[in-house]
A = this chain, B = another copy of it.
């Protein structure tokens, strides 16, 4: 049994962000680490038939209200970005270029980018902005190396492969958490994730 829990998210997903702010504490309470897995939800939607929430009739207006309320409910700081949604490509490439075996460092990187976007409206779809944030996160990354890697075929392929692998496993939304093979979709399933970690099911 893996001791890490898999946490799939899109960098432009408000519920992904809210869950990202909570998942590490939940994992840690049960002796687990988090395997951070950014994916491109736009690509996923081509398979699942999904669409960005704000584009949907009725549901879009509700979602904009619920993002703020759900963040506040969990004590997560949130300011809905003026430009929303944005492409997660730059942030996802930066993550896959910079990620290591250190899950705590990976979490710092992921949350640094999401917090910039979801609390300050900083446009993380801009590669140079993302490079500045990632190198400023105290992880010892060099801007030049990161920029070069983000543009490399290897990293682009890694991003594509990660998203395709997620689709193949049935992942269709963000956040999506897998605990010992059991899939949980949504920030609002973290209470079930926590009980599953404690009990192994019910």
Which residues of A approach B to under 8 Å, CB–CB? 47-50, 56-59, 61-62, 65-66, 69-70, 72-73, 167, 170-173, 183, 185-186, 188-189, 191-192, 195, 202
Give, as a whole number of angstroms, the nearest-CB distance from A47 to chain B: 6
* Besides A48-B59, A62-B170, A191-B191, 14 other A-B contacts (C-beta < 8 A): A47-B57, A48-B58, A49-B56, A58-B167, A58-B170, A59-B173, A61-B170, A62-B185, A66-B185, A70-B192, A72-B202, A73-B195, A73-B202, A188-B188
User: In the complex, what residues of B have CB within 8 A of residue A171's CB?
Assistant: 58
Complex-state Cα separation, A57 to B170, whole angstroms: 9
Q: How many subunits of this chain does the assembly comprise?
A: 2
User: In the complex, what residues of B have CB within 8 A of residue A186's CB?
Assistant: 188
Q: Which chain B residue shows the least CB distance to A48?
A: B58
Q: Which chain B residue shows the least CB distance to A73?
A: B192
Give, as a whole number of angstroms, the nearest-CB distance from A86 to chain B: 23
